[in-house]
Amino acid sequence: MWMPSQLPEIAAQLKAAGFQGDPAGLAELAKPPMNAVVKVGGATGAFVSGDGLVLTNHHVAFGVIQYNSNKDRDLIGNGFIAANRDAELPANPDYRVLVTTGFDRITDKILADARGKTGRAYYDAVDAASKAAVAECESEVGYRCSVANMYYGTDFYLIKQLELKDIRLVYAPPEAIGNYGDEIDNFVWPRHSGDFTILRAYVGKDGKPAAYSKDNVPYRPPAHLQISTDPVGEGDYAMLAGYPGVTYRHRMASEFKSQIEWQLPARVALFDGMIDTIEAATAAKPSAKVLYASQVASLKNGLKRAQGELDGLRRSDAVSARAADEKAMLAWLGKQSDAKAIQADIAAAQKVLDAGAATRERDQLFGLIRGQPQLLRSAVTLQRLAAERGKPDAQRESGFQQRDEALIEGSLKQVQRRYDADVEKALLSDLLKRYRALPAAQRIAEVDAVFGGDDAQAKAAIDALYAQTKLGDEAERLRWLRAAPADVAASTDPLMLAAAKLLPAVLRQEETDKSREGDLLRLRPAYMRALIGYRKSQGRAVYPDANSTLRVSYGKVSTMSPRDGVTYVPLTTVQGIVEKHTGKAPFDAPKPLRDAIAKGDFGGTADPKLKTQTVDFLTNLDTTGGNSGSPVLDANGRLIGLNFDSNWEAVSASWMFDPRYKRAIHVDMRYLRWLLAKVYPAPHLLKEMNLPAE
Amino acid sequence: MWMPSQLPEIAAQLKAAGFQGDPAGLAELAKPPMNAVVKVGGATGAFVSGDGLVLTNHHVAFGVIQYNSNKDRDLIGNGFIAANRDAELPANPDYRVLVTTGFDRITDKILADARGKTGRAYYDAVDAASKAAVAECESEVGYRCSVANMYYGTDFYLIKQLELKDIRLVYAPPEAIGNYGDEIDNFVWPRHSGDFTILRAYVGKDGKPAAYSKDNVPYRPPAHLQISTDPVGEGDYAMLAGYPGVTYRHRMASEFKSQIEWQLPARVALFDGMIDTIEAATAAKPSAKVLYASQVASLKNGLKRAQGELDGLRRSDAVSARAADEKAMLAWLGKQSDAKAIQADIAAAQKVLDAGAATRERDQLFGLIRGQPQLLRSAVTLQRLAAERGKPDAQRESGFQQRDEALIEGSLKQVQRRYDADVEKALLSDLLKRYRALPAAQRIAEVDAVFGGDDAQAKAAIDALYAQTKLGDEAERLRWLRAAPADVAASTDPLMLAAAKLLPAVLRQEETDKSREGDLLRLRPAYMRALIGYRKSQGRAVYPDANSTLRVSYGKVSTMSPRDGVTYVPLTTVQGIVEKHTGKAPFDAPKPLRDAIAKGDFGGTADPKLKTQTVDFLTNLDTTGGNSGSPVLDANGRLIGLNFDSNWEAVSASWMFDPRYKRAIHVDMRYLRWLLAKVYPAPHLLKEMNLPAE
């Protein structure tokens, strides 16, 4: 996950891997191909025509498809082809395509006021300088700006992005193609999904970003990618650009140990326990079962992810591997002239982490106690908001500013569809029981004051709270949302009262978290400097952990052995669609697709070796969440694939990249071309993208 | 699945496939290697030393291991190594090793009396001639004989087998090796099971078969197989000899259609319904759940098998493929000079099948109604037995002769552990409801007389039967087993009375079945003659469907693509044992094995390319149930593997051999050698088998 600016530094590696272009050219954000790679709806996409066509995943554009669907027009089920530009459908007004135009290192500016400070003060100084830089940058109309923190506080970059606001739906396959296999095939290879959609960006007649208007014209990007017409095969060079969200690969060895030996197992056990509690409490009450279906599904998904990450990190022996690497790094560091100051900062950072680890069980449980039960969470949120609403908006905590109130209102309304008093009481009892099992030193006075110190007291307290609270009424919750802060603080509703009593503990926790965050922002750069120096001594460069900024990864089309005796072939074919087809969602391949497969008319999009139509392909490219929709390029920079998922064995890659198991899954552009040529034809789009008619 | 006698006929194919020996030599049952292949406990094994060592599967010898285990000596869990011959443990007295010594065509003798007859008379004539031939053959002491029907009544062979009765346990790995993966890995590739056990056959001092005696001496077989010390790899020639149980590949196209379009889907639906009924009836009654666990497990296993067979036959498009083949065969037949008589017989056979098909739903349900409910089945069995007990033993129906009474007594005792009145009533109600949904013409007068014609009558009848019957008592059931036939017939126990009323329908069904069987025995040879002639015109030979006689299959070590995007590698390694290891059964690899793997000391048994120890391998050899324990030989007739399973995709191979999906799974003899050399050492056995010490 290299920053484009690092690519000249690793030019030799890129060339050795097979890249045919000039690595230096990849570092230029304002030149092709990088200026064709855009941020789309929280993920990635790319311009694929001179008239602003944007290619991204079906699942990334799903909101746009849904927004344009209704009971008379099922674009989700049927797909969509705009016959001409007038027929292109406007996206939801908040949907954006962002084109990165600036990426400037402003470390000195961000840290100027922070230097010499510690803890919360350091955090606040960085925060204030970042906000000022963003405000200054955004004074230019039509741009959105942000500050990205690289190498954990070592460097800060100001990112400037052109904000395209009029996005329209041009082409979407039916969901049964775009999301073939849905949850069952999620994270699965071999895959057979045509997970793509084509959008178009529009601007005002002046060429500047503008909200939707009938009079807008297609945006003419300075560059776009050309879809390849060459075959793709095992071993071929591949590279990918996009906006990966977050990784933790450069965390300290103690953090790896904590994640693998405590955090993930604890999460598995807790989620498992909560699922059991909810399922037991709803077993004999079908109405409650429906109310909690979404929460249980979310817990099960979280459990599955945590277990997958844990399995993967254990399989890769991540604790030992990271510890050995850190040990070697520290040994190297000991021999450097500037070792002392760096060692001191690393030791101090370890102390901050240790302090956090000392109360991690309690902090986790306190978070769940005030977060999982719907009514208690509502009460705490209402009290927390009231505590902020007395301040000027700019000084309010983020998350509790005026612009956040709509979101809070939405979540207070949601409660109605997800709450049953008996289930909530069972869940809260279970979490409090776990909390009371912690050592005495871990207890929180406010929690004990509200819920008592033993089972009997907790039962009595919970019964009393839920017998008398009126927060089960939506109107009542919304009344407190709008009430004057003083009235909220003085509420006599028992749950509002309980939340008011818990509030000091909540605020204390927030303060501690921010103070630690400030110190780590100050101290981690020493660790990163040591790591970068050590890697340099090995002749290796270091990319910063992912943080939703533009990154590049290179590698090749690659098989994989998920386990002894099994090899995954890196290309799937339409034969797999037929094999998986059951006639029922999510394996309900549409009839036109099945007919076209049976007909076997693949023409110029067929694979010359396999003699059939490919669907998806597998590479060893480095990706994480946010890389959805990333364009996959060949050695000459032509578009061969669209990234949309990774394999189950790679769930742990956010912590550790293990080349044996990390793979990325892409739609083969030949499948897109075939669908547009023969199955759901859009010859005008093929022409616009400069592609053969078949 | 060729008869050894057919191998000279396909010598060219064998040589082309890579066989280095003389195909004619394989046809000689009394010469090596065929005389080293033996029948063991219903399956297959082979002599592997001059002193009577027999190699077979762990699961084939499991009864022997179990027989020698008790709470103080857990040979199942710990495995067993006899330090010397005195320490070898006698098998259960009914365990047999059979050496085939004679295989003679006696078609004329068997059919002499049948010719000119039809139906039941034809059946009885064949049956009587077969029994006479067996009796004559068995007059020689120490031999067991049987008559095998080849090509569905076309040919009959007298098979003579030396019956070795003193079999001893020599070497068994722990179950966690011999059955690694158990039910979870059943039918699964990649596989990591060391499914083998070594036995030794003993005979009297005179060299003749004898029951166990301390004074017996090891049997010296006329030949034994030599275990290979060469590596095994993809594409290598392989062949296998054994006793496959039953296949249906030469059934008529209408039978394929019936199996796939009716029999299997009907079985799936019925079993599914019965499972639902039992689970609903036991949901709130844990004690009943325990009682029915075995029946539910058996139904689920039957369901899974039926679904697997159905999926496989559909995947192979078996209905169309068989129909097209038959159509081409009939077209060819039409041009032959002797077509008329053959066509007439085929048409007559089709009529017999059609008559059976006309009542198949009813016959299936009547079978389940009298077979699935424990008490009703007991009552019917008791009445059926009573009807036979009046006759001289030789004239009693097979299954109801004196020698069968112990088995019947066992099953009457079993009832106690598998019966709950409420569950049985629910099951019977459900089956009767399905029966009553059949067209009026399908109704059975006796069933309607006992259970009435509608829901209310059935409920009243069942309630009355189960309220008053005493058959729930074991003593009562056993009393009727021993009672005089006339007393049984006159029983006033309501269930015994019901069974007596149903008996005429049962007898009618038996009579119809045997009459149809006789006619098919008479008529199917015409179909087989046409098929053999047609295949000959294509230059192809035809093997008879499997019937538990010695057969040979040849092919190669082979990959497989179970579905688009996945390739199965044909060799597994010890790495897979580690990957699957969970510490809990069935993936609880013993510590000595894990330590040895970690140590990596594979010596001469390591694969030269993979640089590690292989475990199992995959071939495209043709097998079915009964082939367990079959020796797998290389091009020079040396033993490279021991067959123990096939893959899930091949469940349908009993009907149709599809070369894309049919594979067989074998223990690699290098894994056996490594276990004996390094993990659970038995150097004396390696030496006896003429193998290197490591």
Residue B155 lies in a domain: no
Measured CA distances, B444 to B368, B451, B454, B515 (Å): 14, 11, 14, 19
Count the helix, strand and coil residues of chain B and give each as a percent rounded to the nearest 5.
Answer: 50, 15, 35
Q: Report the residue of chain A nearest B572, measured CA to CA.
A: A565
DSSP per-residue codes, A255-320: HHHHIIIIIHHHHHHHHHHHHHHHHHHHTT-HHHHHHTHHHHHHHHHHHHHHHHHHHHHHHTTHHH
Model confidence at A515, in pLDDT bands (50, 70, 90)?
A: very high
In 3D space, the residue among A472, A462, A393 whose CA is nearest the CA of residue A432 turns out to be A462
Looking at B522, B548, B577, the residue that finishes a domain is: B522
pLDDT at A241: 97
Cβ contacts of B136 within 8 Å, gap of 6 or more: none
Run of H or E residues at B379: helix B374-389
Residue A127 lies in a domain: no
Model confidence at A612, in pLDDT bands (50, 70, 90)?
A: very high
Contact at CB, A564 and B189, closer than 8 angstroms: no
Same domain, A234 and A262: no
Q: Suggest the residue from B234, B564, B647 to mutate for an interface test with chain A (most A CBs closer than 10 A).
A: B564
Same domain, A477 and A352: yes
Model confidence at B480, in pLDDT bands (50, 70, 90)?
A: very high
Tell me the three state secondary structure of residue A567: strand
Same domain, B592 and B674: yes
What's the CA gap between B564 and B622, in Å, rounded?
23
Catalytic residue selected from B628, B630, B646, B654: B628
A637-681: per-residue pLDDT in tens?
A: 999 999 999 999 999 999 999 999 999 999 999 999 999 999 999
- The mean of the pLDDT values for chain B is 95
CA atoms within 13 A on the CB side of B33: 26
Instruction: Establish whether the linkage from the previous residue to A33 is cis, with ω within 30° of 0.
Output: yes
Is the Cβ–Cβ distance between B525 and B612 less than 8 Å? no
Q: Suggest the residue from A188, A557, A564 to mutate for an interface test with chain B (most B CBs closer than 10 A).
A: A564
- Please name the member of B563, B575, B579 whose beta carbon is closest to the beta carbon of A576: B563
Burial of A363 (0-12, 13-18, 19+ CB in 10 A): middle
**Gyration radius (Cα) of chain A, Å:** 27
Model confidence at A395, in pLDDT bands (50, 70, 90)?
A: confident
Judged by a CB distance cut-off of 8 A, whether residue A583 touches chain B is no
Tell me the three state secondary structure of residue A488: helix
Residue A404 reports pLDDT greater than 90: no
Residue A540 lies in a domain: no
Residue B149 tokens, joined = 């029907």
Model confidence at A229, in pLDDT bands (50, 70, 90)?
A: very high
List strands edge to edge, sheet with B631-633: B551-556, B237-242, B631-633, B639-646, B664-668, B614-619, B571-573
Amino acid present at B488: V
Residue A123 reports pLDDT greater than 90: yes
The alpha carbon of residue A104 is apart from the nearest alpha carbon of chain B, in Å, by: 44
What integer is the mean pLDDT of A298-322?
93
Residue A144 lies in a domain: no
Same domain, B201 and B349: no
Q: What ipTM was estimated for this complex?
A: 0.82
B274-289: per-residue pLDDT in tens?
A: 999 999 999 888 888 8
Contact at CB, B566 and A569, closer than 8 angstroms: yes
Contact at CB, A190 and B566, closer than 8 angstroms: yes
DSSP per-residue codes, B246-306: ---TTS-HHHHHHIIIIIHHHHHHHHHHHHHHHHHHHTT-HHHHHHHHHHHHHHHHHHHHH
Looking at B501, B522, B543, the residue that finishes a domain is: B522
Residue B129 reports pLDDT greater than 90: yes
Contact at CB, A575 and B564, closer than 8 angstroms: yes
- The two beta strands, B197-203 and A37-40, are unpaired
pLDDT at B404: 86
Q: Report the residue of chain B nearest A612, measured CA to CA.
A: B564
B314-334: per-residue pLDDT in tens?
A: 999 999 999 999 999 999 999
B515-537: per-residue pLDDT in tens?
A: 999 999 999 999 999 999 999 99
Burial of B124 (0-12, 13-18, 19+ CB in 10 A): middle
Tell me the three state secondary structure of residue A611: coil
Tell me the three state secondary structure of residue B632: strand
Is the Cβ–Cβ distance between B126 and B110 less than 8 Å? yes
DSSP per-residue codes, A25-77: HHT-TTSTTGGGEEEETTEEEEE-STT-EEEE-TTTSHHHHHHT-BTTB-HHH
Residue B555 tokens, joined = 């092919």
pLDDT at A642: 98
Percentage of chain B lying above the pLDDT 70 cut: 100
Catalytic residue selected from A316, A491, A558, A628: A628
Which residues in chain A have their CB less than 8 angstroms from residue B568's CB?
565-567
Which range of A401-405, A545-549, B294-298 scores highest in mean pLDDT? It is A545-549
B322-371: per-residue pLDDT in tens?
A: 999 999 999 999 999 999 999 999 999 999 999 999 999 999 999 999 99
Cα dihedral B483, B487, B492, B498 sign: positive
Which residues in chain B have their CB less than 8 angstroms from residue A312's CB?
none
What's the CA gap between B442 and A186, in Å, rounded?
49
Judged by a CB distance cut-off of 8 A, whether residue A568 touches chain B is yes
**How far from the centroid of its chain's Cα atoms is residue A446's Cα?**
34
- Catalytic residue flag (residue B192): no
The residue count for chain B: 694
A178-195: per-residue pLDDT in tens?
A: 999 998 999 999 999 999
**Stronger pLDDT, B32 or B556, i.e. the higher one:** B556
A56-85: per-residue pLDDT in tens?
A: 999 999 999 999 999 899 999 999 999 999
Which residues in chain A have their CB less than 8 angstroms from residue B192's CB?
564
The backbone torsions φ and ψ at residue A248, rounded to the nearest 5 degrees and listed phi first, read: -130, 25
Q: Which 8-state DSSP code applies to residue A8? A: G
Residue B538 lies in a domain: no
Which residues in chain B have their CB less than 8 angstroms from residue A660's CB?
none
Catalytic residue selected from A51, A155, A166, A195: A195
Is the Cβ–Cβ distance between A282 and A292 less than 8 Å? yes
Residue A30 reports pLDDT greater than 90: no
B51-95: per-residue pLDDT in tens?
A: 999 999 999 999 999 999 998 999 999 999 999 999 999 999 989
Instruction: Establish whether the linkage from the previous residue to A681 is cis, with ω within 30° of 0.
Output: no
Please count the structural domains in chain A.
Answer: 2
B404-431: per-residue pLDDT in tens?
A: 898 899 889 988 888 999 999 999 999 9
Phi-psi region of A79 (alpha: psi -120 to 50; beta: other; left: phi over 0): left
B574-621: per-residue pLDDT in tens?
A: 999 999 999 999 999 999 999 999 999 998 999 999 999 999 999 999
pLDDT at A287: 87
Run of H or E residues at A579: helix A574-580
Residue A9 reports pLDDT greater than 90: yes
Same domain, B324 and B199: no
Same domain, B479 and B349: yes
Burial of A599 (0-12, 13-18, 19+ CB in 10 A): exposed
What's the CA gap between A45 and B616, in Å, rounded?
46
Same domain, B486 and B369: yes
Orientation of helix B474-482 relative to helix B405-414, angle to 10°: 160
Q: Report the residue of chain A nearest B567, measured CA to CA.
A: A567
- Catalytic residue flag (residue A59): yes
What's the CA gap between B358 and A290, in Å, rounded?
47
Amino acid present at B283: A
Same domain, A301 and A321: yes
Residue B301 reports pLDDT greater than 90: no
Judged by a CB distance cut-off of 8 A, whether residue B564 touches chain A is yes
The alpha carbon of residue B567 is apart from the nearest alpha carbon of chain A, in Å, by: 5
Judged by a CB distance cut-off of 8 A, whether residue B565 touches chain A is yes
Same domain, B498 and B625: no
- Catalytic residue flag (residue A378): no
- Please name the member of B564, B566, B573 whose beta carbon is closest to the beta carbon of A566: B566
pLDDT at B284: 86
Judged by a CB distance cut-off of 8 A, whether residue A192 touches chain B is yes
Looking at A503, A521, A539, the residue that finishes a domain is: A521
Residue B331 lies in a domain: yes
Residue A112 lies in a domain: no
Is the Cβ–Cβ distance between A243 and A254 less than 8 Å? no
Same domain, B279 and B420: yes
pLDDT at B398: 81
In 3D space, the residue among B534, B118, B511 whose CA is nearest the CA of residue B351 turns out to be B118
Same domain, B482 and B588: no
What's the CA gap between A57 and A172, in Å, rounded?
9
Measured CA distances, A398 to A395, A413, B245, B565 (Å): 9, 21, 74, 48
**How far from the centroid of its chain's Cα atoms is residue A307's Cα?**
18
Residue A321 reports pLDDT greater than 90: yes
Measured CA distances, A310 to A301, A453, A544, B147 (Å): 14, 34, 23, 60
What's the CA gap between A182 and A589, in Å, rounded?
12
Cβ contacts of A612 within 8 Å, gap of 6 or more: A573, A574, A575, A600, A602, A606
Is the Cβ–Cβ distance between B57 and B196 less than 8 Å? yes
Model confidence at B183, in pLDDT bands (50, 70, 90)?
A: confident
pLDDT at B542: 97
Identify the domain containing residue A459 by its residue range.
253-521
Cα dihedral A618, A624, A627, A628 sign: positive
CA atoms within 13 A on the CB side of B558: 22
Same domain, B328 and B349: yes
Percentage of chain A lying above the pLDDT 70 cut: 100
Residue A123 lies in a domain: no
Residue B196 tokens, joined = 């083998």
Residue B364 tokens, joined = 């299936």
What integer is the mean pLDDT of A222-228?
96
Judged by a CB distance cut-off of 8 A, whether residue B617 touches chain A is no
Which residues in chain B have their CB less than 8 angstroms from residue A566's CB?
190, 566-569
What integer is the mean pLDDT of A37-47?
95
pLDDT at B568: 97
Is the Cβ–Cβ distance between B678 and B694 less than 8 Å? yes
pLDDT at A182: 92
